[in-house]
Chains A and B, each alone.
Chain A
Amino acid sequence: MGKYGWSLPVAASSYAGKIDFGIWLIHAAMLGIFVLWGTFFVYLLVKFRARPGHNAVREDHDDTPARISVPDSISKFPFAQMLYKNKGELKSLIPDMVIMTFEVALIVFYAIPVWSSIKASVPEVKDPIRVEIVSEQFGWNIHYAGPDGKLGPRKMELTHFSNPIGLDVAHADSADDVVMGNEMRLPVDRTVVIDLLSKDVIHSFFIPEFRLKQDAVPGLNIPMWVTPTKTGKFEITCAQLCGFAHSLMRGDVHVQTQEEFDAWYKSRLATIPASAQPTNPAEEF
């Protein structure tokens, strides 16, 4: 079980650190802004509190009659008259400018590149684990493509409680496929490329330690990927309301060494009837 606590859970995927960096950076900035503004706010409240002998002092504002004389050197420029008259107000836009600069930097140097690498594209890896996850009320079916890297086809009419994803076992691509319910096994440090689907309503596949979250929408095949970096058992949870037993929709992902994973996969394949065995049962992947 991963460690949880007051703040972010342990980071167990290749991109978890990048997401955490953003979360901490923004929170540090937020705290800074809040403390600075809060101090200024309290200072204003104390300094300008109503008390005998203290009167409010007006500042020049939009409706003030034009009693400001703008120096000639400034009035030459277009809009200078207007800008000069409102210079008090413009000064108050400085905090806005600071925050905007921070946000632009976040967008350009952080959000867009990192988002593109996590969500907008699946990395080109030589030998990914191929998995299809078919979610339903209230469980996760994990369908491994197996050594051939090809997912066996599914047909809705074959769906049965003994075959929840409707896998066409007669098809050649299905021969080395393994389907698991609510239990996922992954070798550590290998990229897994996942197609996320749903049979009924919208679910959301969430593994907090991986910082992996993606809605599963019926009718769509949504790609996602992750590279686990720590061995151990982590929780898979559904993050989107999916019905009365939503809180019971959970599973476990076991991140193992490559050897443990291979041994497990072989033991799963052995339970499949002989006719459906791959042509070369000794083949490793």
Chain B
Amino acid sequence: MAHDEHAHGGHELSFMERYVFSVDHKVIGLQYLITSFIFLLVGFALMGLMRWQLAFPGTPIPFFGGLFPSDLAPNGVMSGEFYNSLGAMHGTIMVFLGVVPLAVGAYGNYVLPLQIGAPDMAFPRMNMMSYWTYLPGGILMLASFLMPGGAAQSGWTSYPPLSIINPGQTVWLLSMVILITSSLLGAINFLVTTINMRAPGMSLWRLPVFVWAQFVTSVLLLLAFPPLEAASVLQLMDRVFHTSFYLPKDLVILGQAYAGSGGGQPLLWQHLFWFLAHPEVYVLVLPPMGIVAEIIANNTRKPLHGYKTMVFSMIAIGLMSFMVWAHHMFISGMSASLSNFFLVTTMIISVPSVALMTCLVFSLKGGSIRFNVPMLFALAFIPLFAIGGLTGLPLGLTVTDIYLHDTYYVIGHFHFVVVSGSIIALMGGTYYWFPKWYGRKMNDTLGRIHFWGTTTTMVGIFLPMLFMGLGGASRRLYDPTAQLHNLPVQGWNVVATYSAYLLALFQIPFIYNFFNSMWNGEKTPENPWQATTLEWACPSPPPHGNFEKTPTVYRGPYEYSVPGRKTDFWMQTDKN
């Protein structure tokens, strides 16, 4: 077959070439998928330990307490250092090793070339390299737990001077530099692929929303990550070579004058960090939104409401996301009048976000809604993400942020956005594209158990956080009961902790379902969802090179229920 010449001149691929050091975007996508799901589980496990400490401070961790070295957990009771390490690593792993690689590395890699009708990514070897940069970076990040003094302890935001004086941070910075490099390689690849590799007829206004989402996301990664990479190198120099980019003069650390302190400025790091980390939030959110749009269009059997509105909104969000970073810094000590500017831009960015959500809801109108498992996840995304979005309002507003900043309210807010928003949608994506990956379907009943268990327990974790935040409970406290003002809301910590453990239980059907269906799932036809986009126009799983012959695109991505046709879907590749 023609596509066999595609990358390897017709010879048989060895096992290593086929499954390990593959240049095929589909294999790389699945590598990203499995790896990032594993990292999500690791990050989740760290959170499980922290939640025990938060609900029952000072009591030994059940079952696992004895496994930790005594300097981390004397008598099985977590130490403050260990708690801070878990917090920092939970955040870092979930964001940089879990959600972004899952949303961009896995779904982007697998689906984007198929949806634009390309045989592969523009730079297959660079694609392989981005995975093989990500994996060692991730392993290095985890290995930092083995460092003397433990892993990084300064939160995922790594604010200096704390991050300069704390142990474990050097490895954190090194692996961040490696991970950022991986993301940059991926972002460049996606951009070039989307621009250059589209099938004939695939004009920009015929791209599925998911491709647009990945495209905007890649632009964000490309522009936002280099400043953080530079900032990380500077922080590394502060730690290793005692420069003082982030250290002011006259620092006294635990009673001792600090030798490395010079003429630096701690707020410089915060500006550089949030210049990345705010766009990063949209990196976490846009691809899942694209997935939700795909699933909703498919399962309402009608075109999306406001395709162009959605695309323009995503572009607007992308542009605006670079102008809102300092709303994380309202009470950081930067100029208080500067805050007014970021207040206004932050409120403006909610306009395209609301437009996107409105389009998703209006897309349901007039449809013939099928409630299959991917659709359940896509539908749950809407109200849960809405809670996340709405609770962003009092945080984006300077005045109310004075009180709510650094409380549990913030944690509740962004977990509603990223967990019950992004991760819910990404799970829906797994059920939706699984037939494409393996030619089989995931079990429906297990999927429904997973869905209802996951969504309800998530609300049980994050809603209490909002209540605790309103009560004034500070975040990042190793022992919340050490501070009197937390005592009245301590009960919510227990609720959240048990919900988190239930959430863990409800992932078991998912994991079993995933691996079992890989081999034993019900076999599906090429286009089981009767979808219109290009990824369903090739065999499942697609062979190396994807399409038997280059597809030609004749129409927009969501031509469902076109009057006068026998079927209610009209694929982009069907001429008539």
Residues of A within 8 A of B (CB): 1-2, 4-9, 18-19, 22-23, 26-27, 29-30, 33-34, 37-38, 40-41, 44-45, 48-51, 54-59, 61-63, 88-89, 92-93, 95-96, 99-100, 103-104, 106-107, 110-112, 114-116, 118-120, 136-137, 156-157, 159, 161, 196, 199-202, 204, 206, 208, 211-220, 222, 235, 237-248, 250
A137 CA / B256 CA spacing, docked (Å): 12
The verdict on B139 contacting chain A, using a C-beta distance below 8 Å, is no
Of the stretches B23-31, B284-292, B391-399, B522-530, the one at the interface is: B391-399
Distance in Å: Cβ of B493 to nearest Cβ of chain A? 13
- Residues of chain B within 8 A (CB-CB) of A200 are 161, 165, 251-254, 258
Do B477 and A19 have beta carbons less than 8 Å apart? no
A18 CA / B402 CA spacing, docked (Å): 11
Q: Which residue of A lies closest to B267 (CB)?
A: A217
- Residues of chain B within 8 A (CB-CB) of A201 are 159, 161-162, 165, 253
- Of the candidates B165, B166, B472, the one whose C-beta lies within 8 Å of that of A8 is B472
Q: A23-B400, A49-B369 are in contact. Are A89 and B309 (CB under 8 A)?
A: yes
CB-defined A-B contacts under 8 Å, sample of 17: A19-B402, A34-B390, A44-B369, A45-B369, A48-B365, A49-B369, A55-B301, A58-B366, A58-B561, A96-B355, A99-B354, A111-B340, A118-B399, A120-B337, A137-B253, A157-B257, A247-B482
Distance in Å: Cβ of B141 to nearest Cβ of chain A? 19
Do A23 and B483 have beta carbons less than 8 Å apart? no
Do B406 and A240 have beta carbons less than 8 Å apart? yes
Q: Which residue of A lies closest to B264 (CB)?
A: A219
Distance in Å: Cβ of A277 to nearest Cβ of chain B? 29
The 7 A-B residue pairs with the shortest CB-CB distance, nearest first, are: A219-B248, A208-B472, A244-B80, A120-B336, A247-B477, A56-B301, A239-B406
Q: Which residue of A lies closest to B471 (CB)?
A: A4
Of the stretches B227-235, B484-492, B501-509, the one at the interface is: B484-492
A54 CA / B254 CA spacing, docked (Å): 72
The verdict on B307 contacting chain A, using a C-beta distance below 8 Å, is yes
Distance in Å: Cβ of A145 to nearest Cβ of chain B? 21
A180 CA / B368 CA spacing, docked (Å): 70
Do A241 and B162 have beta carbons less than 8 Å apart? yes
Distance in Å: Cβ of A45 to nearest Cβ of chain B? 6
Distance in Å: Cβ of B367 to nearest Cβ of chain A? 5
Do A218 and B366 have beta carbons less than 8 Å apart? no
Q: Which residue of B lies closest to A248 (CB)?
A: B482
Interface string of B329-343 (1 = CB under 8 A from A): 001110011011001
- Of the candidates A63, A92, A136, the one whose C-beta lies within 8 Å of that of B556 is A63
The verdict on B516 contacting chain A, using a C-beta distance below 8 Å, is no
- Residues of chain B within 8 A (CB-CB) of A37 are 361, 383, 386
The verdict on B454 contacting chain A, using a C-beta distance below 8 Å, is no
- Of the candidates B364, B472, B478, the one whose C-beta lies within 8 Å of that of A247 is B478
Do A235 and B483 have beta carbons less than 8 Å apart? yes
- Residues of chain B within 8 A (CB-CB) of A27 are 394
Do B394 and A239 have beta carbons less than 8 Å apart? no
Do A213 and B383 have beta carbons less than 8 Å apart? no
Do A246 and B306 have beta carbons less than 8 Å apart? no
A245 CA / B405 CA spacing, docked (Å): 20
Do A4 and B487 have beta carbons less than 8 Å apart? yes
Do B159 and A96 have beta carbons less than 8 Å apart? no
Do A56 and B367 have beta carbons less than 8 Å apart? yes
- Residues of chain B within 8 A (CB-CB) of A136 are 252
Q: A48-B369, A111-B397, A237-B485 are in contact. Are A55 and B568 (CB under 8 A)?
A: yes
- Residues of chain A within 8 A (CB-CB) of B253 are 137, 200-201
Do B478 and A246 have beta carbons less than 8 Å apart? yes
Distance in Å: Cβ of B365 to nearest Cβ of chain A? 6
Of the stretches B129-137, B173-181, B344-352, B537-545, the one at the interface is: B344-352
- Residues of chain A within 8 A (CB-CB) of B563 are 58
Do A247 and B248 have beta carbons less than 8 Å apart? no
The verdict on B190 contacting chain A, using a C-beta distance below 8 Å, is no
- Residues of chain A within 8 A (CB-CB) of B249 are 219
Q: A57-B561, A215-B333 are in contact. Are A22 and B354 (CB under 8 A)?
A: no
Do A92 and B303 have beta carbons less than 8 Å apart? no
Q: Which residue of B lies closest to A203 (CB)?
A: B162
- Residues of chain A within 8 A (CB-CB) of B336 are 115-116, 119-120
Q: A7-B470, A219-B249 are in contact. Are A235 and B484 (CB under 8 A)?
A: yes
A213 CA / B358 CA spacing, docked (Å): 36
A51 CA / B368 CA spacing, docked (Å): 7
- Residues of chain A within 8 A (CB-CB) of B340 are 111-112, 115
Distance in Å: Cβ of B449 to nearest Cβ of chain A? 21
A248 CA / B486 CA spacing, docked (Å): 13
A8 CA / B479 CA spacing, docked (Å): 21
The verdict on B430 contacting chain A, using a C-beta distance below 8 Å, is no
The verdict on B404 contacting chain A, using a C-beta distance below 8 Å, is yes
Distance in Å: Cβ of A113 to nearest Cβ of chain B? 9
The verdict on B155 contacting chain A, using a C-beta distance below 8 Å, is yes
Distance in Å: Cβ of B500 to nearest Cβ of chain A? 20
- Of the candidates A44, A222, A244, the one whose C-beta lies within 8 Å of that of B153 is A244
Q: A56-B300, A112-B340, A213-B331 given. 14 additional CB < 8 A pairs?
A: A7-B467, A9-B472, A45-B369, A50-B370, A55-B568, A92-B362, A107-B397, A120-B339, A200-B253, A241-B87, A242-B162, A243-B166, A244-B81, A247-B477
A213 CA / B397 CA spacing, docked (Å): 15
Do A241 and B155 have beta carbons less than 8 Å apart? yes
- Residues of chain A within 8 A (CB-CB) of B404 are 23
Q: Which residue of B lies closest to A164 (CB)?
A: B255
- Of the candidates B399, B470, B474, B479, the one whose C-beta lies within 8 Å of that of A110 is B399
The verdict on B84 contacting chain A, using a C-beta distance below 8 Å, is yes
Do B161 and A202 have beta carbons less than 8 Å apart? yes
A200 CA / B361 CA spacing, docked (Å): 50
A112 CA / B307 CA spacing, docked (Å): 36
- Residues of chain B within 8 A (CB-CB) of A156 are 250, 252, 257
Do A56 and B368 have beta carbons less than 8 Å apart? yes
Q: Which residue of A lies closest to B479 (CB)?
A: A247
